[in-house]
Structure 1
């Protein structure tokens, strides 16, 4: 998933923003990443013969979320971005939509398993 997320970011910065603008590019990129996360989760959790419990599926989703958010803050720190700027990306009242990505990461394993009849 990390490769998909990086490719999505490169596509946003090199193609989308030039064509549709900063905000629309951000929204489209976020939507594309959400779809990619669901597809990856479906490819694994929707077809695996392993019987995961709901708690295990939530633990996987929580791990994905913590690793992703942690990576964001680490990269921001290494680039010299203040934590307040990184946190601002989660402010839905300011029109930010990024919060959908960690929420998707958190619930995708459980949701895909439930929808595919694994639970």
Structure 2
């Protein structure tokens, strides 16, 4: 993967990060009071997954990766960046490691592991949809 593709993939991930933060705010301010925690977590996870897929599809021509493995490398980089950010930010805020790890279960409607799988495969799925591979 070239430096240019890697930098563009990073910038795209930063856009995903911004959208994820906005999605979390929407969940806490709008969805939770109206729908409750369990339904809000499911809806928020589905919405974030859709946003990640749309951004991957939309940004692929700009990133212009070459080769089918590159799409998985980009998704892997996004996944690692997401998990690293989640743990670093959570620990910085004083969250217990146990609480952070709980997000990786399907407890009470949490579908975060599915969102992570979508993050990993979104560039590859976008490439398939665009007939790049």
TM-score (norm 2): 0.81
Return the alpha-carbon distance in structure 2 between the equivalents of residues 26 and 49 of structure 1. 31
Q: Please, which of 66, 73, 82 is the counterpart of residue 80 of structure 2?
A: 66
Return the alpha-carbon distance in structure 2 between the equivalents of residues 49 and 84 of structure 1. 37
For 1:38, what is the secondary structure of its paired residue? helix
| 1:17 corresponds to | 32
Deviates more, 1:47-56 or 1:19-28: 47-56
Q: Encode CA deviations 1:56-105: one digit per residue, 9 max, x unaligned.
A: 11110011011111111011101211112111111137653110111111
Q: Please, which of 47, 54, 72 is the counterpart of residue 39 of structure 1?
A: 54
TM-score (norm 1): 0.90
- Rate the CA distance shift 1:49–1:12 in 2: closer, same or farther, 3 A: closer
Return the alpha-carbon distance in structure 1 between the equivalents of residues 63 and 100 of structure 2. 39
Does residue 96 of structure 1 match 2:110?
A: yes
Return the alpha-carbon distance in structure 1 between the equivalents of residues 33 and 65 of structure 2. 45
Aligned residue pair count: 118
Q: Which runs of 5+ in 1 are unaligned?
A: none
Q: How far did 1:34 drift?
A: 0.3
CA RMSD of aligned residues (A): 1.7
Runs of 4+ in 1 over 6 A off after TM superposition: none
The structure where helix makes up a greater share of residues is 2
- Rate the CA distance shift 1:53–1:90 in 2: closer, same or farther, 3 A: same
